[in-house]
Amino acid sequence: MSSLVGVDLGGTKVAVATLRERDLGESQIQPTARSNSDALIEQLLSMIDSAHGGELRGVGVGVPSVVEFDTGRVVSSVNIPLADVPLRQVLEDRLGVPVFVDNDATVAALAEAHDDQLRMVAHHLVMITVGTGVGGGLILDGRIYRGATGGAGELGHTIVGLDLAGVVPAPTGFPQPGSLEFEASGHALDRLAGHAASLHPESELGELYTEGKPVLGADAVQAAHAGDPAALRIVEIWGQRLGIGIANAINTFDPEEVVIGGGAARAGGLLLEPAQRVALGYVLPGLGKRTTIRLARHGVRAGVLGAALLAEHELGGAQARASVHEARR
């Protein structure tokens, strides 16, 4: 039986899984080889080869980068060493099957537009993935929207908190201060957690700080779920900041759904409730009445599932175009 392989390539880990019929297999997960592009490509090839274990029909890859979709070239990349690498061509030459490369949040959006039976149920959807950074993906009229250069949906770089009281600050490196990624990414939660730990030595986070241990966002989420007041407060602030980005998305696209994915989804309702509350407060009256703000239904598997679905959709589209061309001859 032929299969498709989905690859979710992140700044810290790579997940690979096989899609056969309507069944997505268990993910293989490894830390991302970030030393150089050659090492990372070899890692991807090895994991793909290990995953499919049979006839391979195609591969989809989601990367945390701006991608020129038609060629599969990684235009720019912050967290992985693939900038200016023609990833599609390199993988196709080695694997001998069609490969499709797209932004990781875009393929996660494609997954979230499908239900658990992998039927497309949302035709207007905005995906915001919160992990090492903040990414975004757009499904408009039932199709992935990539824009003129393939980079549409970079919602993490929308500005949500810039002080414009005086002269407009000169832009700096990315993520820009005041951007959604700067204020609401996993790194931003790390900063919030460290600050809270220093201010509240009696808290669970403060105990880690006192012991000289690193205090990270994951610790804050765990402590918040356990009811620690200081941790609950910073997760709430995190959600409020994300809510501003969600409001911007609703005001711009008026979608059926805004989906929060990535590692942030592990915070569950502790993140979702303040994000919903703040977002709806900043949405233009009349908008958002048909918009559902929710956590990713496919959880951390949205990326790898979306990558496999990307390959399925693109291969299906190619076959349909070929049939139309043949019928016109």
Q: Give the pLDDT score at 328.
A: 39
How many angstroms separate the Cα of 70 from the Cα of each of 92, 99, 170, 198, 284? 14, 11, 34, 49, 36
Other CB atoms closer than 10 Å to residue 324's CB: what's the count? 9
Enter the pTM of the model. Answer: 0.86
- Rounded to 10 degrees, the C-alpha dihedral 141/123/62/312 comes to -90
Which stretches of the chain score pLDDT less than 70? 1, 317-329
Residues 241-269 pLDDT 10s: 999 999 999 999 999 999 999 889 999 99
Helices and strands counted in the chain (H then E):
10, 13
Structural domains in the chain plus CATH codes: 3-112+301-328 (3.30.420.40), 124-296 (3.30.420.40)
Cα–Cα distance between 293 and 310 in angstroms, integer?
24
Radius of gyration of the chain (CA): 20
Are 81 and 63 contacting, i.e. CB atoms less than 8 angstroms apart? no
pLDDT at 320: 39
The β-bridge partners of 18 are: 5
- The set of residues, in sequence order, having a beta carbon less than 8 Å from that of 27 and lying 6+ positions away, is 8, 15, 16, 17, 301, 304
The Cα angle at residue 122 between residues 116 and 126, in degrees rounded to 5: 105
Q: What is the pLDDT of residues 175-220, one digit of tens each?
A: 999 999 999 999 999 999 999 999 999 999 999 999 999 999 999 9
Residue 242 backbone class (left: φ over 0; alpha: ψ -120 to 50; beta: rest): alpha
